[in-house]
């Protein structure tokens, strides 16, 4: 299945998982004063997922997943640059150790530029860090359902023209797998946002490695 088509259906299915909440609580649940950050968070998350889907076509699954989940390495940097929050020396040390680990996985050399899939997967981790910090920021004032409805809804709308261009007929098995992708992604995002209501991004990010 083409990456853009997978991405669109992931967000579309995840959005419809939360549509009953929209009708149950009324459209007032969409009222927000932070629409710009909602859009920014959604776009960063979409870019992260697209880069992962592209990289996984050319890399072993374990390498692609590990590199795309390198967000804990980037989150302190994003927090420092974006939110101007100081980072403890121990965190910088852990960043250097993590970067050394990434170098061991990527094994940088001339071949890296002939097949840049590793860098694409690592870029996915960077955009994941941006999306997670934005989620942490939004969760201070926005309920999980509102964040998710905007996240999935905005991404679905933006991806429609790309999905149309990439569309191809799917088998029943492919539809079932994509339904699973959408359902599990919806659950994942809900749990992440719920966690961020109790702790900040730098505290929670190491749990990404449980992937």
pLDDT in tens, 8-29: 999 999 999 999 887 877 788 8
- 170 in Cβ contact with 1 (< 8 Å): yes
pLDDT at 112: 63
Question: Rounded to two decimals, what is the model's pTM?
Answer: 0.84
- Greater confidence, 53 or 200? 53
pLDDT at 113: 61
- Greater confidence, 6 or 113? 6
- In 3D space, the residue among 159, 137, 128, 126 whose CA is nearest the CA of residue 36 turns out to be 137
């Amino acid at each position: 299945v083409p990456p853009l088509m997978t991405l669109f259906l992931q967000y579309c299915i995840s959005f419809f998982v939360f549509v009953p909440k929209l009708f149950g609580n009324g459209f007032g649940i969409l009222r927000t004063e932070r629409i710009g950050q909602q859009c920014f968070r959604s776009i960063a998350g979409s870019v992260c997922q697209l880069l992962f889907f592209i990289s996984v076509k050319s890399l072993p699954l374990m390498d692609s997943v590990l590199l795309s989940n390198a967000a804990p390495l980037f989150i302190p940097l994003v927090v420092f640059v974006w939110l101007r929050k100081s980072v403890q020396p121990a965190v910088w040390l852990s960043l250097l150790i993590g970067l050394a680990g990434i170098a061991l996985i990527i094994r940088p050399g001339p071949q890296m530029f002939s097949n840049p899939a590793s860098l694409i997967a690592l870029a996915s981790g960077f955009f994941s860090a941006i999306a997670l910090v934005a989620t942490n920021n939004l969760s201070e004032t926005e309920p999980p359902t509102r964040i998710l409805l905007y996240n999935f809804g905005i991404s679905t709308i933006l991806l429609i023209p790309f999905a149309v261009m990439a569309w191809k007929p799917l088998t029943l098995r492919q539809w079932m797998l994509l339904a699973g992708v959408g359902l599990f992604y919806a659950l994942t995002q809900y749990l992440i946002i719920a966690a961020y209501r109790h702790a900040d991004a730098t505290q929670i990010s190491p749990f990404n490695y449980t992937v």
